[in-house]
Amino acid sequence: MSNRKYLTIALAKGRLAHRSMELFEKIGIFVEEMKDPHSRKLIFTNEEYGLRFFLAKGPDVPTYVEYGAADIGIVGKDTILEEQRKLLEVLDLGFGRCRMCVCGPESAKELLRTQAQIRVATKYPNIAGDYFYNTKNHTVEIIKLNGSIELAPIVGLAEVIVDIVETGSTLRENGLTVLEEVCPLSARVVVNQVSMRMENERIMDLLNRLGEVIRQG
């Protein structure tokens, strides 16, 4: 391993990183140190396979991969669409499944149908903009928020929101509903364009092995 470069893998911190490491364990790649909940370490190595893992904020994963600071990233499709980075999306890991939706009170359905002047609150202004301007040809005002998006229609900041719906319980508990579906989402593997050429054999080997355990369920 000494004269070989590490392959560097950026993981979106949180649930996605846990699920990703479970997947790596299924193909025999263990990084025990990463499981210590008290550790403040950000970067972990597996010498046997020449791999280096690090944890980053989800929206930063595509940035690390585009610039080649990470060869590979694991991140949600929502983040890939929103960040619009130059990278190769190569594998759907099949977990973290949810939907990007336009949501609001039932009464807002009519506003969407009539192309009324409305405000749309979201953590995903690029996804929302693309959906309303390009897919629906509906000119809206987009308001960027950073979380608890469901609040916006309740307190009158916006008529509808564009947000992630997983179980739907946040919507239900706040009297809101799915009005339109934008796209399905799940965890994806992304690869730096140069790394894919320079380290093709190692990256493809890893992707094939991950793909195999996913297919086996």
Total number of residues that touch ligand PRP (CB under 6 A): 13
Q: Is residue 149 at the binding interface for ligand PRP, with CB under 6 A as the rule?
A: yes
Smaller CB separation from ligand PRP, 159 or 199: 159
Smaller CB separation from ligand PRP, 11 or 203: 11
Choice from 72, 163, 188, 206 touching ligand PRP (CB under 6 A): 163
| Candidate ranges 51-59, 78-86, 134-142, 159-167; the one touching ligand PRP (CB under 6 A) | 159-167
Residue 216 to residues 21, 158, 184, 185: CA-CA distances in angstroms? 17, 44, 22, 21
Q: Is residue 83 at the binding interface for ligand PRP, with CB under 6 A as the rule?
A: no
Binding mask 101-140 for ligand PRP (x = CB under 6 A): ----------------------x-----------------
Around 45, how many Cα atoms within 13 Å sit in the side-chain half-sphere? 7
Residue-wise burial string across 25-41, b where 16 or more C-beta atoms lie within 10 A, e elsewhere: eeeebebeebeeeeeee
Choice from 2, 114, 134, 167 touching ligand PRP (CB under 6 A): 167
Query: What is the phi/psi pair of residue 118, to 5°?
Result: -130, 165
* Chain position whose Cβ is nearest to ligand PRP: 147
Q: Where are the alpha helices (DSSP H) in the chain?
A: 15-26, 61-66, 77-83, 109-113, 125-129, 151-155, 169-173, 193-198, 200-216
Smaller CB separation from ligand PRP, 134 or 169: 169
Q: Is residue 177 at the binding interface for ligand PRP, with CB under 6 A as the rule?
A: no
Q: Which residues pair with 89 in a beta bridge?
A: 190
30 to 69, contacts with ligand PRP by CB under 6 A? none
Neighbours of 195 (CB within 10 A): 21
Q: Residue 92 CB, nearest distance to ligand PRP (Å)?
A: 20
Choice from 9, 65, 164, 203 touching ligand PRP (CB under 6 A): 164
Q: What is the side-by-side strand order in the sheet with 160-165?
A: 141-144, 119-122, 160-165, 98-104, 177-185
Choice from 165, 176, 179, 189 touching ligand PRP (CB under 6 A): 165
Q: Is residue 147 at the binding interface for ligand PRP, with CB under 6 A as the rule?
A: yes
87 close to 79: Cβ distance less than 8 angstroms: no
66 close to 88: Cβ distance less than 8 angstroms: no
By CB under 6 A, name the binding residues for ligand PRP: 123, 147-150, 163-170
